Amino acid sequence: MPVGKRYRLTGLLLNSRRGLVLEVDGGGTWLLDVGRKAKPLIGQRVTVEGARSGFDLLDVDRIDRAG
């Protein structure tokens, strides 16, 4: 998976020791580089759009409740 590749992922937004993470439907976890705007969404299913910037790091451009 190359750095810079764009993703649109859906899963559960959680707070972890590393920061906000997305537990993706079907398996896998991404660390999210996202601002405070995402805090109210913790514990909810969300859809995230952004670019990969590290092994498991996603620079988030957009985050919304899934649905």
User: Could you read off the pLDDT of 27-60 as tens digits, one per residue?
Assistant: 999 999 998 889 999 999 999 999 999 999 999 9
In a domain, 12, yes or no: yes
Pairing of strands 57-65, 29-33: parallel
Residue 1's pLDDT is: 57
Q: Categorize the per-residue pLDDT at 25 as very low, low, confident or very high, splitting at 50, 70 and 90.
A: confident
Q: Which helix (H) or strand (E) holds 26?
A: none
In a domain, 1, yes or no: no
In a domain, 52, yes or no: yes
In a domain, 54, yes or no: yes
Q: Give the residue among 1, 5, 64 at the shortest CA–CA distance from 22.
A: 64
Mean pLDDT on 13-39: 94
Task: Return d(Cα 39, Cα 53) in angstroms, integer.
Answer: 21
Residues spanned by the domain of 24: 6-65
Residue ranges of the alpha helices (H) in the chain? none
Domain count across the chain = 1
Hey, what amino acid is at 18?
R
CATH of the domain at 48: 2.40.50.140
In a domain, 16, yes or no: yes
